[in-house]
Amino acid sequence: MSSKLICLMWLVALALCIATASAQESSLRVVGAGTVQVPADTIIIAVSAQNNSNNLSLAEEANSKLLNLTEESLIAVGVKREEILPDRSKGYMTSHIMICNTVNNTTSCEEVVTNVVTEQMVIRMKNSDANQTKAVVDAAKSAGAKASIKGYDLSDSSNAVDQARKKALDNAKAKAEYYASSFGFSLGKAIEIEESTYPDIEIGPIYGWDMPRRMGHMFWRESFLRMDRFLAGNHIPEGMAEVTAYVSVIYKV
């Protein structure tokens, strides 16, 4: 047998061994979720003025003047001018009431029309300090306006997202190790990691099945992971932001 034929047979055998080994390689795909809660860094306060009048123009003018004075009072206690949103919302409501009086068996009725005019401005204050928030609300009320906290936000979520992703990866690895050992396999290295959507960000308080502010549903994690959170009675305290990251990881086994 020639050396060339022997060499060719050896190469064929090597190729068959490699193909057999490749065919025997298997992988395990798992989905991991990681959640962290961090304080919201932005508070949203609504400040409004209201006027009852038969003259809509005068009522509008009075509301605008009041909010302009209130704006200066807010700046005096530490609110930055750029934190006061430039667009104000206005609302109108008209009520009709029929008032009737009976005198000497004679009834006379008069329709009374009342116009309620409101104007509102919104503050997005990048400060979560409770004392500062109270000072702002008190300043608005002292100026004659109404003020209330409307919600919270997380303007910089980068650190919380990084923490959530790390937890999601740890969760995926723990699941993979459990599944692999259950079938008598050894878990190999991760060969593919996928995060096809930005993490969910929810602002408290959130109870049960309430939906997140930002969410991207993926086919591999939509139903069961959210059901887990529902059954757990998920609760986010007021003023807290909850960030949840999801990863799909493929491991060699």
What are the residue boundaries of the structural domains of the chain, listed by start?
A: 26-40+156-252, 42-153
The whole-angstrom separation of Cα 71 and Cα 218 is: 44
The whole-angstrom separation of Cα 220 and Cα 168 is: 14
Residues 15/16/19/21 CA torsion (nearest 10 deg): -110
Enter the CATH code of domain 42-153. Answer: 3.30.70.2970
Q: Which two tokens stand for residue 187?
A: 């878990």
The pLDDT tens digits of the residues spanning 112-159 come to 777 789 999 999 999 878 899 999 999 999 999 999 999 899 999 999
Q: Which two tokens stand for residue 71?
A: 């704006």
In the block, residue with structure tokens 């400060």 = 127
The whole-angstrom separation of Cα 54 and Cα 58 is: 9
- C-alpha radius of gyration, the chain, whole number: 32
Structure confidence at residue 55 (pLDDT)? 81
Structure confidence at residue 208 (pLDDT)? 39
Those residues of the chain that have pLDDT short of 50 are 4-23, 206-232
The pLDDT tens digits of the residues spanning 37-56 come to 999 999 999 999 998 877 88
Q: Any idea which fold 26-40+156-252 has?
A: Translation Initiation Factor IF3 (3.30.110)
- Provide the β-strand partners of residue 117: 51, 92
17 burial type by CB count under 10 A (0-12 exposed, 13-18 middle, 19+ buried): exposed
Structure confidence at residue 239 (pLDDT)? 87
Structure confidence at residue 106 (pLDDT)? 86
The whole-angstrom separation of Cα 199 and Cα 206 is: 17
Structure confidence at residue 112 (pLDDT)? 75
Pair 218, 31: CB distance under 8 Å? no
Structure confidence at residue 189 (pLDDT)? 93
Scored b (16 or more CB within 10 A) or e, 204-234 reads bebeeeeebeeeeeeeebeeebbeebeeeeb
Q: Which two tokens stand for residue 129?
A: 């300090």
Whole-number percent of the chain with pLDDT over 90: 55
Q: Select from 25, 91, 27, 21 the least CA-distant residue to 56.
A: 91
